[in-house]
Amino acid sequence: MPRHASIGALPNQWQPAASIDHAAHSAMNAEKRAEIFRRLHAANPAPTTELEYATTFQLLVAVILSAQATDKSVNLATRTLFADAPTPQCMLALGETGLAKYINRIGLYNAKAKNVIATCRQLIEQHGGEVPRERDALEALPGVGRKTANVVLNTAFGEATIAVDTHIFRVANRTRLAPGKTPLAVELKLLKSVPDDYKADAHHWLILHGRYVCKSRKPECWRCAIADLCEYRDKTRLYEDRTQ
């Protein structure tokens, strides 16, 4: 059963929790962090990836293909690809040239085709055709780095990992939830500071928040559910946007 999810509507009108004393908590602290995740959870209780897949192998391939590409473009390609080649064995049989024909609308498709075929071969030769659930084994697969391994460990195996992509990196720095100069620094800070109850889903909440609300060029602060907790200095207001 293919899985996909939508963010659902974040509430336009939110009510700050009465227990938060904003004057007394000007710096990001544990109470603010917990309230941020409480609200993200309330708006979307079961967040997941927007990549479409039916098996862990297909999730792995979709994540490899999604580097520097939109989930939408990956889904368009994989709907046909996964129907024709659902397993590592079938995909390996396509070869690099055959696979490239399915994914040629995705950026860097030649390099990705090469990595996916090499990954299929490695899965078959070293892991009995299954996706391993150990980080080291995942990161040893061609085209799989720490971020991809984190997504697979979190989304397929339910581990409390946090894959820091461009959206999470931006949201963590703007809000001051977990400021850091590199994705790894942000990841480690988030792992340390996100309340345990929210850790497994933090990755998807922050990605979706960055993709749909805290957008790169113009964050939509006027409808942001965590605006009063966020420490970004240049928050946007709806009135200013309409008059620009």
Dist. CA 184–CA 164, nearest whole Å? 7
Task: Give the per-residue SS3 of the chain.
Answer: CCECCCCCCCCCCCCCCCCCCCCCCCCCCHHHHHHHHHHHHHHCCCCCCCCCECCHHHHHHHHHHCCCCCHHHHHHHHHHHHHHCCCHHHHHHHHHHHHHHHHCCCCCHHHHHHHHHHHHHHHHHHHCCCCCCCHHHHHCCCCCCHHHHHHHHHHCCCCCCCCCCHHHHHHHHHHCCCCCCCHHHHHHHHHHHCCHHHHHHHHHHHHHHHHHCCCCCCCCHHHCCCCCCCCCCCCCCHHHHHHC
**Residue 164 C-beta: closest distance to ligand SF4, Å:** 16
The structure tokens listed for 25 are 């908590």
**Positions in the binding site for ligand SF4 (CB under 6 A):** 174-175, 213-214, 219-221, 224, 226-227, 230, 232, 235
Dist. CA 213–CA 139, nearest whole Å? 31
**27 alpha-carbon distance from chain centroid:** 26
Q: Using the minimum distance from each CB to ligand SF4, give the nearer residue, 207 or 224.
A: 224
Q: Using the minimum distance from each CB to ligand SF4, give the nearer residue, 127 or 215.
A: 215
Task: Report the SS3 class of residue 150.
Answer: helix
Q: Using the minimum distance from each CB to ligand SF4, give the nearer residue, 87 or 173.
A: 173
